[in-house]
Chains A and B, each alone.
Chain A
Amino acid sequence: MSGGTMSNGRYWIAHNAGVLTAVVLFAVMFTLYVSNHSAGLTPAVATTAANKAVLLALVAMAQTLPVLTRGLDLSVGMVFVMTNCIASAIVVGSVGEGLLGVVAVLAIGALAGFVNGAIVVWGRLQPIITTLATGAVYYGIALFIRPSPGGDVQSDIADLLTGQLFGTVPAALVVLLGVVLVIWIPYRRSVLGRAAYAVGSNEQAAYMSGVPVQRAKLLAYTLAGLLAAVGGLMLTFNTYSGEASAPIAGAYTLNSIAAVVIGGTSLFGGWGSAIGSIFGAFVLRTIEDLLFVFDLPPLWQPLFQGVVLLVAVSLGAFRILRVRNRLELFT
């Protein structure tokens, strides 16, 4: 497909145009934010911004995996909130006990994702409606554990992961980098990771070519649950408590979809990357911070945020300018 006319570099740029747009957008907005912030770019400012942004980035990464297989996970926000509540109950005590709790929370998140995947693959239900229903179940479990906000978390681990490394680098960013290196990159290079892209492009063709369709989907949903659980853990480390909040869960689910789209991943599957979603999430979070430093009247903030979101997702409409045959519009 690259052909002889396109050099490797140009092909790479064309392939990653969505991600690059998100990166540039984020760089411009963050520069604007820092240059207008009264304190400038201090480690404290960066850490506060990173701690908030990493939560959405993790949930957006989680959303990316099912979307790549042409699915969707409307329960990521609920898994995020559920693991937050569970973590606030079991990640306590000594450092060792806390670490054990962390492992348990991650396992629960992965299990929740696996259940989604199992219903989609073996139950053959549509991902949208499946995750809508399982989301209600996960939210019920969260409410069961935390009928009212509260709980605690192992403070040594929490302080380590939400503070700064060597007094400069926000630890949350290191966690995010770790997740990318340990989960996303190996997944992207694995057989099942490539299979996920194939399934997203054309499931029938992938099946006919002997691609392990079912295992690819199962793994995508399971990893989505795992990543959402990492997000839930980080939320607990930030807030030192658990809260079964439906608005928080809903907001994270919806923003994760927006972040995925801004990061250049196609909702029709088979195209995109979790790296793009991370920067999509950073863009969304920086919008909020920008409103703060520019002192926009609070009443106008929701409208401004909404308009920016709508304009950002409408950027995808530029593809219709490249369409030569009207029938291509319908795919």
Chain B
Amino acid sequence: MAATEIRIASRLPGLLRRAAGLLGSLLAVGGAKAIELPENRAEALYHVYKGGGVTADGPALLVRKSLADKVSLSGSYYVDAVSNASIDVVTTASPFKEKRTSYDLGVDFAHRDSLMSMSVYRSKEPDYTSDAFSLDLSHEFFGNMTTIALGYTRGLDKVFKKNEVSFNDYAKHWQYRLGLTQVLTPSMLASANLEVVSDDGYLGNPYRAARVFGATVPERNPRTRTSRALKFRVIGDLGNRNAARAEYRYFWDTWAIKAHTLEAGYSRYVGSDWLADGFTRFYKQSDALFYSDNATSETTYISRNRQLSAFRSFGIGGKLSYTAKRVPGQYEMKIVGSIERIRFDYKNFTDIRTGQAYMFNANLLQLYVTATY
């Protein structure tokens, strides 16, 4: 384990104790006000992704309800039916279908100006299970103009391999989040979010191969990784029922990947019941230290995972929302449709079927009904 990982992992119990102690003193200092619980919600979604030979679709459900104005309970269910004929699959094996299901349950408490959330998550597919526990705390102060948020997630994955019972490995994850949002004017706010993710264990894919001197070899990934992401966001109301947002994220990790993400969006109310939203996203990353399309030397670690290659992606999309029913103070129901098209352009991952640098277009579709009550 690298020095950074050891320091984060072993300091954990002490960190939690200190955070709890500081939290106690914070609550003692606060005033007589109280933060609002997240609003009650019921949502049903049908999602589709189609691109690069992969089709994944399925339903998702979410319900949130508060009890006695003190606690908010939430639960969700998400299914991904995947039909995989991606370039990796098609060039090394044969297309397959499988289903991934995930559930999560959460509890939120409001106390004075703080909101504490706890949740558990489980994702299951035939050869991979993922369990995680999260703790989030957010606090409003300075006349509710400033919000600070802390978050922690601990995850444990179990990795298996079809047709090879002896393959049984794990991957552990730790995520630490820190966020700050500041209201700048009655129509503008800005926020900064930092997230550190640490992984330990099997971080690769048992079906994926790497290429060394033109020959196929099993990939060899490091068993640890620590990444940091810093995102800045600004949202502004442009008057006349319009708003615009922009965000930038810088990502860097111990695998030498550096990534930039730039997103911009514009929302506009049309009439009394319609809301239109347009958005665009630009993403660029550099490759991992041990990534190679076709290695020309022997290295400890080698991977041909295109997720770790140098590539760019550009996305553009739109969303339309219709308020079907609105009873103020009681409930509101919206029907929403969203489409997005993303183009992936790889710099150093070759499509071995054509010999050219690989690229593909992906389409996303979402259709959902959401009600707040």
Check if A and B associate: no
